[in-house]
Chain A
Amino acid sequence: MVRLVFLGKLGDVAPASLGEVSLPGEVRTLFDLKSWVARQQPLLGRAMEATPTRLILNQAVAHDLAAPIADGDEIAFLPPMSGG
Chain B
Amino acid sequence: MQIRIVQQSFDPQAEVAAFAKGRDDAGALVSFVGTCRAATDGMDARELRIDHYPGFSEKEIARLAGEVSARFDCPDLLVVHRVGAILPGEAIVLVAALSTHRANAFDAVRVLMDYLKTDAPLWKKESGPQGGRWIEPRAEDHVRRAQAEKGMA
A interface residues, Cβ below 8 angstroms from B: 5, 7-9, 11-12, 51, 56, 59, 76, 78-84
- Please state if A83 and B56 are interface contacts (CB–CB under 8 Å): no
Question: Given that A5-B53, A8-B51, A9-B123 are contacting pairs, would A80 and B137 also be in contact in the complex, using a CB cutoff of 8 Å?
Answer: yes
Query: Number of contacting residues on B, CB 8 A?
Result: 26
Proximity string of chain B (110-131) to chain A, C-beta cutoff 8 Å, 1 when within and 0 when not: 0001001111111111000000
- Please state if A82 and B122 are interface contacts (CB–CB under 8 Å): yes
- Please state if B134 and A8 are interface contacts (CB–CB under 8 Å): yes
A8 to B125, CA, bound (A): 8
- Selected from A8, A12, A56, A84, the residue in CB contact (under 8 A) with B34 is A84
Question: Given that A8-B51, A76-B53 are contacting pairs, would A84 and B93 also be in contact in the complex, using a CB cutoff of 8 Å?
Answer: yes
A51 to B123, CA, bound (A): 14
A81 to B57, CA, bound (A): 11
